[in-house]
C-alpha cells in the first residue's frame, strides 16, 4: 500500500489563517494538492492540529471525489 501524508497542522502565526483552507480561484488550497496525487496512491493522510480543523476540512473535502482513501488525523504537538 502506498500512502501520502499531508501536514496541515501549523499554528497559522505568519499567515494569520489556515493555508490549507485558504480559497484560491474558488476552492481551498488543499483541494489543489489532493488533485495532484495520482492513482498509484492508495491512501492520503491529512494531519491537522485539532478536531475543529478536521471538522472544517471535512465540510469541503468529499472523499468520494478521489480514487484513494482519505484519512484525517489529529496531532496535538
Residue 11's pLDDT is 73
Residue 23's pLDDT is 93
Residue 10's pLDDT is 76
Give pLDDT tens digits for 24-67.
999 999 999 999 997 889 999 999 998 999 999 999 999 999 99
Asked if pLDDT for residue 77 goes beyond 70, the answer is no
CATH (domain of 41): 3.90.550.10
Q: Could you tell me the residue range of the domain that residue 55 belongs to?
A: 3-74
Burial 26-58 (b: 16+ CB within 10 A, else e): eebbbbeebeeeeeebeebebbbbeeebbebbe
Asked if pLDDT for residue 17 goes beyond 90, the answer is no
Q: Structurally, how many domains does the chain consist of?
A: 1
pTM of the full structure = 0.87
Amino acid at each position: 500500500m502506498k500512502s501520502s501524508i499531508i501536514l496541515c497542522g501549523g499554528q497559522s502565526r505568519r499567515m494569520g489563517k489556515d493555508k490549507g483552507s485558504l480559497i484560491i480561484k474558488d476552492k481551498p488550497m488543499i483541494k489543489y494538492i489532493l488533485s495532484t496525487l495520482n492513482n498509484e496512491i492508495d491512501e492520503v493522510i491529512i494531519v491537522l492540529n485539532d478536531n475543529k480543523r478536521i471538522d472544517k476540512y471535512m465540510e469541503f473535502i468529499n472523499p468520494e471525489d478521489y480514487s484513494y482513501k482519505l484519512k484525517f488525523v489529529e496531532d496535538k504537538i
